[in-house]
Every structure is written in structure tokens, then in C-alpha cells.
Amino acid sequence: MARLCWTLLLAVTSYLVFEGQHAEGARILAVFPIPSISHQVVYRALSLELSRRGHQLVVVTPDPIREPQLANYTEVDFSYMYKPFHETNNFSSVRQENKSKIEIFKTAVLSGNYLCETIMGHDVVQAMIDPKNTKGHFDLVILEWLITPCMTAFAHRFSAPMIGITSLPPTTVNYDSVGNPTNPSYIPEMSLSYTDKKRSFWQRLETTIFQIRFGHFFYRTILPMQDAIAKRYFGPSTPYIGDLQKQVSMLFVTHIEGFSSPRPHVPAVVNINGFNIKPPKSLPQDIQEFLDGAPKGAIYFSLGSNVRSDQLTADKRQVFLEVFAELPDYRVLWKWEQDNLPGQPRNVKIAKWLPQQDILRHPKVKVFITQGGLQSTEEAIHAKVPMIGIPVFADQDYNTKLGEDAGVTMCLELNELTKTMLLEALKKIIQDKSYRENMDRLHAIVNDQQTTPMERAVWWTEYVLRHKGAQHLRTAAVDMPWYSYLLLDVALFFLATAALFVVLLSMSVKVIFSKLKTHFRQKQKKN
């Protein structure tokens, strides 16, 4: 009898707790379209934490975690988008094809149209946004804020406030939605390799031209195209996507303070760098033994989740093989996406996927050869491991250049890479103690934060829920025409006023001289 009473009491308590969370918790729709695990791990951390706090999540993602025990966490699986998305962009070859940075970026942004079409056309999503579906509602919409502005139509459909989130430093047009300043004279552009250190006139000019060209492309090409897609699926009465994206309440951005160049942020911008850092875990036994047995240390080589090292050209692959073979006292872990590596040296171990954070934490890892992605950079700083950066696209040039400025990275250009260059870089990073000392100092700066990134993100998310939006945190710049924002009308007024003054002064001088001339002529006649 006592056991039965205890069981009933436990059941009632569990019911009340669950129902209390359900009543207090919000219904949140999260749409994270880009098929890239390095993006998704950042967004997943937030959505799981919100779920643990009692909110009900519906997550549209290409990387579902598939954990049925999460009762208030529903996923819409778009993992089939991976193959066509990466075939279209082919990130592994863009550097080797010598494409311009603006063209690479345009290709990536245009692929957002495919993501819009695929997600909005899905049967589950169609049922969700059907106007006849009067039961479904959401209190908040969280959107990946990068190349799919079409997704803002979800917030309009459910009359819900929205929060944008990125796993990268936002672009100029992303910042425009909350009126955040992006002055090209000192604020770097993530797709270029210029930091704010010793920027020349030509670098500032190129940054300005890049922002103008990309802004024109985004506002004149991307927004109209995605607006047409949104209207096709959400109905012709859907407001213009360019207007909807200005209604975002907040932006959660990944910006490594203390490493990235400082920039001003309006109150609507919240920094969440470090979301991807996880508590330490034990390494798989084979990897643990491989690293433990390294005579002088280990080298970790990975080009991230979007760039495949098995798609390096044969001559570049040979460079790595020969260099690693000449360092027999060092063991190399190589993220290689095939079952076999032709010519694999004895001191090299390959795997299609590796627990990167825990490998970097191993005390014998001396250097990390990386493409320079932001999450990989964060993880290297957290583990205090110096880097050799071989950037390929997007923000990787910028991140590796920042690392070089901080004295924790050596930058190498993939197309120019030779055996001598790589071998000398590895020896310098390993032997020069300043790289690890600089990394220790950088680690201390980056991790000295008043609150954790998760605490900030959750607090501001629930702030938006409490106030049903937070557009009051945006600056007036959001709704200003570009010429007013740049004070061109004021400058024109001053120029016009100055010109009018010069004209009036000139006319006055002419009149005075004319009268003086007439006066002297009359005086001469009298004389």
C-alpha cells in the first residue's frame, strides 16, 4: 500500500512539473537550413538548452539528433539536402580553381534559394504553414541568419517575434537588419583577409568596394528571388522579405572577443562564441593509445566539415604525405574521408570523422593544421594548441590572419604550398615557444567572461518572449535610407551652402569692384 501511494505521489508530482513547464514554456520554431555540422552544433546547443528549460521546440534541421526521449523536442529531418548543397558549392575545390572571393560568396548565397525551395516545399512544413491549420502556433521563431532571408516568412505566418543566429561573424547585410554599424574604414569584412591592424588605403578601398558589390547583389538579386519563393509557398499577401528581415528582434552572433577585431554592437546583438565547446570526454581507445605513444608529440590535421582533404589535388596531397613521412618521431591524426590513403606513412592514422575537441585537449598534440573555420579556431584556442592555417573560403582567410596577428597561427596559401614551406612551418610552430605562450595568453583573454555564452543566449531569448519582441533594441538606422545613414544629404547641404556662400561672395565682390571701377572712372573724368 505504501509503495502504491509513493508511486501515485511520484506520478502526480511528475505530471504537475511537466504541466507547469508546458504552461510556462513557450512554443518555439527553429529553422536552421544550412547543411554544415559546424553550423548546426552551435544552433543545437541553444535549442537543446531551451528544451531543457521547459520550452517546446520544433527544429527544422539537416542534422537531427534523433533522441525520442526528448518529449518536447520535435525535429523535421532535412539531412537529404547535404549532397545537392555541397555538390553545388563544392567547397573543397574553390581555392584550387582560383575563383575570386566575391564570386565564391555569391555562389554560396545563391544556394540559399535551393534551401528555401526545399524546406518550404516539404510536406510537413506545408502542413505547418497551411492557413487552414488554426491549431498550430508559435511564440517565437529562431532563424539561421545568413543566406536564407526567405525564412522570415515563418515569423509573419505565426505572428511571432524572431531571433536571428549565426555561427559566423555576420556579413554587412546581416547587420543591416538591426542597424549595426559596419564602417569599412575600420570594421573588417569576414570574407576578406584584412583585419583592423595596419590597414592600408588599398585594403580599405577593397573592403568598401566588396561591401558595395555584395550589398547590391543581396538587395537587388537575392531578396527579390527569395521573396518570390516565399510568396509562392506562403501566399501572395506575404510582405516583402526585405521588410520582414528588418523586424528581427535580436541577432545572436559568433564573434571571438579578444581574438577578433573589436567592433561596436547595438543592444540587439548578443555574442555567443563558445557554444560549440563541450565538456571533456575520453578518447576512443585506439586514438588514445596512438597519441600516448607519440615519441615527441602529435600533429592533428583536419580541413573541417565542409572541405574534404580527399579532394585535394594529387600534388598537394603528396606534399602532406612527404612532410609527415619526414617527421617519424611525430604521430599524425588526419581526417581523411576515404577508407584508404594511398602512400600513407607509418606514423599517420586516418579516420573519416574524429572527436576534434578531445584530440586537441591531449597533451601531446603540438600543432593543429586547419582550414581556419571559426569553430575550429575556437576549439584550438580553448585547448591552447597553435595552428597552421590553410584557408579555403568564407571567413577562413580572416580567421587565419587574425591568428597570425595574435602570434598563434602560421598562414599558408594552398595553391602555393610546397613541401619545404609546410615542413618549415611545422618545425617553427613546434620549436618556437612563443606560439604556445601567445596561445596561453589568448586563451586566458577569450575565456575571461562575466557570464557564459549560454546564459546570455537563454536570458535574451526569454527576454524576447517576455516582451513579445525586442525591436526597441534596434537603432533608427534600420529604417533610414542609405544616403541619410551616410549623412550624404547633410554633406550635400553643407556643400550647397558653401557653394552658395562662394557664389554670393563672388557676386558681391564683382558688384563692389564694379562700383569701385565706376567710381574711379567718374573721378578721373572730373579731374
373: left (phi over 0), alpha (psi -120 to 50) or beta: beta
What are the helix (H) ranges across 296-387?
314-325, 356-361, 374-383
Q: What is the pLDDT along the chain (527 residues), one digit of tens a residue?
A: 433 333 333 333 233 333 333 336 899 999 999 998 888 999 999 999 999 999 999 999 999 998 888 889 999 999 999 888 877 776 656 555 566 666 777 777 788 899 999 999 999 999 999 888 877 799 999 999 999 999 999 999 999 999 999 998 888 899 999 999 988 888 887 777 777 666 788 888 988 998 898 899 999 999 999 999 999 999 999 999 999 999 999 999 988 888 887 888 999 999 998 888 889 999 999 999 999 999 999 999 999 888 888 888 899 999 999 999 999 999 999 999 999 999 999 999 999 999 999 999 999 999 999 999 999 999 999 999 999 999 988 788 889 999 999 999 999 999 899 999 999 999 999 999 999 999 999 999 999 988 999 999 999 999 999 999 998 998 888 888 888 988 899 999 999 999 999 999 999 998 888 888 787 777 777 76
| Cell numbers standing for residue 341 | 590513403
The residues, ordered by sequence, that sit 6+ positions from 491 with a Cβ below 8 Å of its Cβ are none
pLDDT recorded at residue 85: 82
Q: Which helix (H) or strand (E) holds 365?
A: strand 365-370
Q: How many residues does the chain have?
A: 527
Integer Cα distance of 92 and 104 in angstroms: 12
Q: Which helix (H) or strand (E) holds 212?
A: helix 201-217
391, 371 contact by CB (below 8 A): yes
DSSP annotation of 180 reads -
* Strand partners of residue 29: 58, 141
pLDDT recorded at residue 87: 76
pLDDT recorded at residue 523: 74
- Please give the angle made by the CA atoms of 299, 306 and 418, to the nearest 5 degrees: 50
Q: What is the pTM of this model?
A: 0.87
125, 76 contact by CB (below 8 A): yes
141, 160 contact by CB (below 8 A): yes
Q: Which CATH class is domain 285-446?
A: alpha beta
Select from 245, 93, 225, 255 the least CA-distant residue to 162.
245
Integer Cα distance of 442 and 431 in angstroms: 19
pLDDT recorded at residue 357: 95
Portions of the chain given CATH number 3.40.50.2000 = 18-275+452-479, 285-446
3 state DSSP class of 117: helix
Q: Does domain 18-275+452-479 have CATH number 1.10.3290.10?
A: no
